């Protein structure tokens, strides 16, 4: 699938510049860097696609198949999506590599603003980087059935809205090479939430945003 780049950097930059004195600035998000990267999108894409960390180094060869669509007057051949899926199991080193690659890819290329706007929350845009981290962790941990990790209330709210935007959500899954990421609210557990917090610190190494990730969440569950 050819993913367009609708991310409105001017809107994003205006927002992040207006919030330099709040907690979000502690996350060291440098929108100028993002803008610079955007100006070199083709270079970054070549870097991602051609680097030694490319999906092909660990994933099985993929083949392109075609489907036949028959009409009353003609037969048309349409190529199916050729998606390079993440391997079902990753080593520790591979998880670290993919965490960095997928985080960069989603931050630069995917439009999360249109999802965040539907939250109708004054801190909607502060949730975006935390949601990206959560999705990356779900992908590299292979948590398709929502059995390993739990998100915070605000992250899960954005997740449920995103899932409701079916085509847009599927485009994100295709971009990161994941077949499915199911959301099952009935499976929210404290131990899964703690595991999420632990992995955020491990792979992203920044001070947690406690406004988005409250420490006391799900303390009444196991």
Give per-residue pLDDT as tens, 115-143. 999 999 999 989 999 999 999 999 999 99
Q: How far apart are CA 24 and CA 66, in angstroms?
A: 46
Domain count, the chain: 1
User: What is the C-alpha separation between 174 and 139, in angstroms, rounded?
Assistant: 11
Q: Which of 119, 99, 102, 78 has the alpha carbon at shortest distance from 204?
A: 99
Per the listing, tokens 């605000």 go with 154
Classify residue 222: in a domain, yes or no.
no
Write out residues in the chain with pLDDT < 70, as ranges.
1-81, 221-222
Could you tell me if 177 and 86 are in contact, meaning their C-beta atoms sit under 8 angstroms apart?
A: yes
Q: How far apart are CA 121 and CA 186, in angstroms?
A: 24
| Structural tokens at position 149 | 């990790």
Domain annotation covers residue 214: no
Task: List the structure tokens of 179.
Answer: 């077949």
Tell me, yes or no, whether 50 lies in a domain.
yes
pLDDT at 73: 47
Query: Does residue 220 form part of some domain?
Result: no
Question: Would you state the pLDDT for residue 13?
Answer: 53
Model pLDDT, residue 81: 62
Q: Specify the pTM.
A: 0.65
Which pLDDT score is estimated for 222?
A: 64
Whether residue 211 is contained in a domain is answered as no
Contact status, residue 3 vs residue 109, Cβ threshold 8 Å: yes
Residue 174 is assigned to a structural domain of this protein: yes
Contact 30, 104 (CB under 8 A): no
Rounded Cα distance between 78 and 67, Å, is 6
Q: Is residue 2 part of a domain?
A: no
81 alpha-carbon distance from chain centroid: 20
Instruction: Assess if residue 161 is contained within a domain.
Output: yes
Residue ranges making up the domain that contains 134: 9-204
């Amino acid at each position: 699938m050819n993913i367009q780049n609708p991310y409105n950097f001017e809107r994003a930059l205006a927002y992040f510049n207006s919030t330099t004195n709040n907690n979000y600035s502690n996350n060291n998000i440098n929108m100028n860097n993002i803008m610079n990267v955007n100006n070199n999108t083709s270079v970054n894409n070549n870097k991602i696609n051609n680097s030694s960390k490319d999906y092909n180094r660990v994933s099985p060869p993929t083949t392109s198949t075609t489907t036949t669509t028959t009409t009353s007057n003609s037969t048309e051949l349409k190529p199916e999506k050729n998606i390079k899926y993440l391997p079902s199991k990753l080593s520790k080193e591979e998880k670290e590599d993919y965490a960095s690659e997928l985080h960069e890819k989603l931050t630069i290329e995917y439009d999360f603003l249109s999802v965040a706007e539907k939250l109708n929350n004054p801190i909607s845009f502060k949730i975006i980087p935390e949601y990206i981290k959560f999705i990356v962790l779900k992908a590299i941990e292979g948590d398709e059935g929502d059995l390993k990790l739990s998100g915070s209330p605000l992250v899960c709210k954005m997740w449920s809205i995103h899932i409701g935007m079916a085509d847009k959500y599927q485009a994100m899954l295709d971009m990161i090479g994941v077949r499915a990421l199911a959301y099952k609210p009935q499976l929210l557990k404290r131990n899964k939430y703690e595991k999420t917090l632990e992995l955020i610190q491990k792979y992203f190494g920044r001070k947690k945003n406690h406004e988005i990730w409250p420490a006391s969440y799900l303390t009444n569950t196991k």
